[in-house]
């Protein structure tokens, strides 16, 4: 995945923004674009284009418990994206089919032609392979597969975003495990044996060129594990993500912000 340099372009101003964002100086923006044009995506100034972002958040479900605190996530993410210059479309409480329809409509928006990137934020209950629609239950799954999201926005199906960064944020469980472990502070406890040690790894002689390109996806949990949400403050992942994207966009690449 190529690196997305997340620098806010605008008129010269102090390093500290008047809002909660710390933005880089306009002169620094121009310098980075000139010196690193072969390493970063094309970044357009706000006056030259219109960013689009999509938030889908399922809160109420037919058969699953409500996601209390999710409204806080919507407010926080919407404010964050608007602060970064995106026009935000917000959708709530959709089935998997409706989510897919909304994603396809978003991918077809003509504004992407003059834009330089997009954000997709999906928040719901989830399973390992996808995101639950509001009608989901175990006997009658209602799931939007992760593969479907990438297919809709790939270079074959979304020409307007070809060679442009597509940032996907997912707040959803991907299993039932808690994802924690009790360990000893002894150095001996750090020794791990694995069937995937370097001696056991082999290189496949086939090289593929992917249709899915220029994506960066950040999920709130790894496969098989749950994702935590506070019923008052919102999802822990979303809270921390917003904090870092407000604090570091002036000096860090997108991937580096995620590492924070």
Give the burial class of 131: count Cβ atoms within 10 A of its Cβ; 0-12 exposed, 13-18 middle, 19 or more buried. Answer: buried
| pLDDT at residue 260 tops 90 | no
44-54 confidence digits (pLDDT tens): 766 656 789 99
| pLDDT at residue 10 tops 50 | no
What residues have CB less than 8 Å from 124, skipping those under 6 apart?
56, 57, 58, 67, 131, 132, 133, 171, 172
**17 part of a folded domain:** no
DSSP for 172-241 reads S--SSB-------SSGGGG----TTSGGG----S-----SS-SEEEEESS-TTB---EETTTEEHHHHHH
CATH number reported for the structural domain that contains residue 67 in this entry = 3.40.50.1460
Q: Which residue has the higher pLDDT, 27 or 145?
A: 145
**Domains in the chain: how many in total?**
1
Active site residue 173: yes
Q: What is the pLDDT of residue 62?
A: 96
189-209 confidence digits (pLDDT tens): 434 444 444 444 333 433 333
**255 part of a folded domain:** no
Q: What is the pLDDT of residue 153?
A: 95
| pLDDT at residue 33 tops 80 | no
Q: What is the pLDDT of residue 228?
A: 63
**23 part of a folded domain:** no
71-88 confidence digits (pLDDT tens): 999 999 999 999 888 999
**42 part of a folded domain:** no
170-191 confidence digits (pLDDT tens): 988 766 565 444 443 334 443 4
152-163 confidence digits (pLDDT tens): 999 899 999 998
- According to the 3-state scheme, what is the secondary structure of 92-147? ECCCHHHHHHHHHHHHCCHHHHHCCCEEEEEECCEECCEEECCCCCCCCCCEEEHH
| pLDDT at residue 7 tops 60 | no
Q: What is the pLDDT of residue 129?
A: 86
C-beta separation of 122 from 178 below 8 A: no
Active site residue 252: no
**144 part of a folded domain:** yes
How confident is the prediction for the chain on average, in pLDDT? Answer: 76
57, 132, 158, 173: the catalytic one is: 173
Q: What is the pLDDT of residue 197?
A: 45
Question: Residue 77's domain spans which residues?
Answer: 49-176+211-241
Query: Averaged over 41-68, what is the pLDDT?
Result: 84
Percent of the chain's residues with pLDDT above 70: 70
Query: Averaged over 210-217, what is the pLDDT?
Result: 67
**124 part of a folded domain:** yes
| pLDDT at residue 92 tops 60 | yes
Q: What is the pLDDT of residue 231?
A: 74
C-beta separation of 109 from 51 below 8 A: no
Most confident listed range (26-30, 147-151, 170-174, 254-258): 147-151
Q: Which residue has the higher pLDDT, 47 or 231?
A: 231
**135 part of a folded domain:** yes
pLDDT band at residue 108 using 50, 70 and 90 as cut-offs? very high
Answer whether 0.85 is exceeded by the pTM: no
233-246 confidence digits (pLDDT tens): 888 888 888 888 88
51, 112, 125, 136: the catalytic one is: 125
pLDDT band at residue 221 using 50, 70 and 90 as cut-offs? low
**150 part of a folded domain:** yes
Which H or E run includes 72?
Answer: helix 70-83
């Amino acid at each position: 995945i190529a690196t997305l340099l997340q620098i806010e372009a605008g008129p010269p101003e102090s390093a500290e923004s008047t809002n909660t964002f710390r933005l880089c100086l306009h002169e620094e923006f121009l310098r980075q674009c000139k010196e690193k044009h072969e390493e970063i995506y094309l970044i357009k100034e706000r006056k030259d284009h219109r960013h689009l972002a999509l938030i889908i958040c399922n809160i109420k479900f037919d058969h699953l418990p409500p996601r209390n605190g999710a409204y806080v996530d919507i407010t926080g993410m919407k404010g964050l994206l608007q602060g970064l210059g995106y026009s935000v479309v917000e959708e709530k409480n959709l089935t998997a089919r409706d989510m897919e329809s909304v994603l396809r409509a978003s991918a077809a928006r003509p504004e992407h032609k003059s834009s330089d990137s997009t954000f997709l934020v999906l928040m719901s209950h989830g399973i390992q392979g996808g995101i639950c629609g509001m009608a989901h239950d175990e006997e009658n799954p209602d799931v939007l597969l992760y593969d479907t999201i990438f297919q809709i926005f790939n270079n074959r199906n979304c020409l307007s975003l070809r060679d442009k960064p597509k940032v996907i944020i997912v707040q959803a469980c991907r299993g039932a495990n808690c994802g924690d472990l009790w360990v000893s502070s002894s150095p001996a406890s750090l020794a791990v044996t694995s069937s995937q040690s370097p001696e056991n790894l082999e290189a496949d002689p086939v090289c593929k060129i992917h249709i899915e390109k220029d994506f960066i996806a950040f999920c709130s949990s790894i496969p098989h594990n749950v994702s935590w949400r506070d019923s008052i403050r919102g999802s822990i992942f979303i809270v921390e993500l917003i904090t870092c994207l407000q604090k570091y966009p002036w000096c860090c690449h997108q991937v580096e912000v995620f590492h924070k």
